A and B are shown apart, each in its own frame.
Chain A
Amino acid sequence: MAPTIHYYCPCQSGELLQTPPPPHMASSSASFHLLHSLFFCEECDAVRCNRCVAVEVSGYYCPNCLFEVPSASVRAEKNRCARNCFSCPICRSTLQVVASDPPDGGDGRPSASLSNVGEPPFFLYCNHCRWDSAEVGITFEKPTGLAAQLQKFEDSAPESLEFERLKEHFEPFLPAASAALARDVPGVGKYNPLARSRVGRDRTANKDEMPEYKSRMEISVLGQLGSEGDDSDVDALRRMENVEEIASLEQRWGNSWTTSLRTSDLKPLRIPLHSKVSKRCPTCRHILIKPEQKAQSVRYKIKLVAANYLPAITVGIPHASGTDTARRPQTKATGVSDDRNAGILTAGKSYPFHLALTNPLYDPIQVRLSVQRMHVTAVTDGTAPEKARRTPFAVSLPTSPFPVAAFAEAWEYDDDDDMFGLEDDDLGLDVGRSRDRDGKGKIKAVGVLEKRANVTVVGGEVVIGKEARGHVKFNMLVSYTYRSDDPLPSEDGAGTPSRTVVKSPEVKTFTFYTVVDLGPILPREEKIDPDI
């Protein structure tokens, strides 16, 4: 397993930027995310994740025909595609509208169809499991507007009619009820547009003035319609020969209303719509993500992702990837890296590791790394011996701040051609040499190893205790200073403790936590691998 790094989003714990949970707890994973899945709010100067952003639907589309459905018709069409998109009730793949075979031309070969669309009746056919809708008696005279015909079935189901009636019955009370809810529960009014519009003119409609609801039909009658668990089901079960005759839960629970247990009764499903969403910061309500209107466009009008603000960090363990490449060109050429002993750390040894920091900003940054203390009593982030005793491993990182050069578009263009030369040198000479030195006397394992373009590679070292178990996983505090474009001296302090003014108001510091996982520790006594 390759070493990984995840970034911390403070939303799971109440206050702003406090220390993340200990990395070894399984529940901690909820607070750590990959950099590319995080957002960044410029107003709050804080990292946001998918768990904490407020999501709003900005448009609906059918995932099959990619038609953008206006939100007005979404409701009427019951959130499903109203064109010709159906999924197979058996396997959920897309159904195709097919025509019947053309009439036999007499010579044993089907004659070419005269009409453009084929011969009626039309039916739906699954290319994957070969189910077709003629099996359940659904055929069509025309190959168009099939959804409307099927929706008629759905809407005439007794449950659907009952639900419509219920909605009708409660409609007049809804504004009053939601106003009451907004009054009683703080915060609800803010999120409920219906309540917000009505809350001003308080009609003080008494909730108890509701007339009694008369159901459309008696519940006992509904039971006799053969929905669930009646005698006919028992009969069918008695005669059942294989388990496939009963529709699986997976096949049935996507339906809105109770359906028959039998697989042979399953109906084609109109495909549920998907939505494009915009995302807002949970505290300041500023938009972080706003997609373009077009459903299949992958561009965004607003896109504030953390990858554009925080330095991207990649972790590597040189002993795992760099050693055997020259000796084993065959395995490398086939693209299968020899990862049998890669990424395995043996207890009682020390390993160097690399952190490559990439600066996405147009200004150079100064980065300072430090390891979060495991215990309050552990004093430094260095390889203090007393800490090594307490924790299964000790991590040393460069203690002084180091620069990462600014990002420039130009590197984007010439990396195609120039990177080969650079890379060969780096990997062939620099890494190789530093490895040699590592072997002899640990010269320069910790510190800045390499600077190129907007990337700075720093080395760290981990000393693993003899009795260590589990993963080498530690929280790392990253703080970087950058030159700010707009000095906002009045704004820091209250609400933004993560940003503090250092020296001149032009320079700002941003701090965030990450968790680095260098991989599992191989216990000492279990040295099975002959390569180690």
Chain B
Amino acid sequence: MEAPVYYSKAEFIETDTGNKVSRRATIAGPQNIILGGKTIISSSAIIRGDLRRTGPGHAVVISLGRYCLVGEGCVMRPPYKTYRGNFNYYPMKIGDYVHIGANTVVEAATIGNHVVIGKNCVIGKFTIIKDCAQVADNTVIPPNTVIPALALFAGSPGYNPEGILVGRFVEDLPESTQEMVESQTKQYYSRFQPLDR
């Protein structure tokens, strides 16, 4: 069993459903954000729930499932485009058991269940990430990419020893990825413990 990850009790707000949200995170437009429960929003993360579709009424901008982790310094920003002359933001949907590493910028349209995204990544606009896919640390995923289920993507224009110019398919992940990620994300949540001092 791995050691617990302690956080200061004063910094985090815990909701009835077990979400733990840092007071140091910037949550814009909280009424447009849904957290599924037992999801952790780390400090200095930025979640832009205010960038909503134009038009009247209530709109869900960003929804996260259960047992998710938004790492420190992450930016979650809904994707936008100009379609037939109209500029608009589009909602971002994230499934259960999704971990997003520190300092990653996410502008994906859909992220499935059991997805692990590394540190310092850029997930381009309207990216679709299917179930059990993974993105390695320091990867740049260009806009409109589709990451199929159980695929590992890596690569960035800045660091490309093998000439990989953008994040793309590297290998298939093992068949037991789903169970692995599920137990890892659950374990992380239970390890994430308050410390009064």
Contact = CB atoms under 8 A, between A and B. Distances in A.
A424 interface: yes
A170 to B, nearest CB: 33
Nearest to A452: B1
B142 A127 contact: yes
Contact of B5 (A34, A113, A335): A335
Contacts, number: 143
Given A94-B145, A419-B190, A423-B1, A307 B176 contact: yes
B186 A415 contact: yes
A289 interface: yes
Interface stretch (A196-204, A321-329, A493-501): A321-329
A128 B195 contact: no
Interface in B159-195: 162-166, 168-169, 174-180, 186, 190-191, 193, 195
A93 interface: yes
A36 B174 contact: yes
Which label, helix, strand, loop or mixed, suits the secondary structure of the A interface? mixed
Nearest to A299: B178
Most chain B CB inside 10 Å of its own CB: which residue of A113, A128, A129, A455: A128
Contact of B6 (A34, A96, A248, A329): A329
A78 interface: no
B84 interface: yes
Interface residues of B, number: 53
A298 interface: yes
Contact of A127 (B5, B114, B144): B144
B151 interface: yes
A138 to B, nearest CB: 19
B7 interface: yes
A451 B46 CA distance: 41
A65 interface: yes
A250 B155 CA distance: 14
A449 to B, nearest CB: 11
Interface string A240-266: 000000001110000000000000000
A27 interface: no
Contacts of B11: 333
Contacts of B55: none
B22 to A, nearest CB: 10
Which label, helix, strand, loop or mixed, suits the secondary structure of the B interface? loop
Interface in B76-95: 84-85
A334 B43 contact: yes
Given A63-B169, A91-B142, A91-B165, A298 B7 contact: no
A63 to B, nearest CB: 5
Interface string B113-145: 010000000001100001110000000001111
A64 interface: yes
Contacts of B59: none
Contacts of A96: 144
Contact of A329 (B8, B42, B174): B8
Contact of B1 (A63, A128, A455): A455
Interface string B35-60: 00010001100000000000000000
Nearest to B22: A333
Given A314-B1, A334-B43, 5 more contacts: A298-B149, A303-B175, A316-B3, A356-B1, A420-B190
Interface of A: 34, 36-37, 50, 61, 63-66, 90-94, 96, 110, 112-113, 126-129, 248-250, 274, 289, 295-298, 300, 303, 305, 307, 314, 316, 321-322, 325, 329, 332-335, 337, 356, 415-416, 419-420, 423-424, 426-427, 455, 457
Interface of B: 1-8, 11, 38, 42-43, 71-72, 84-85, 102, 114, 124-125, 130-132, 142-146, 148-151, 157, 162-166, 168-169, 174-180, 186, 190-191, 193, 195, 197
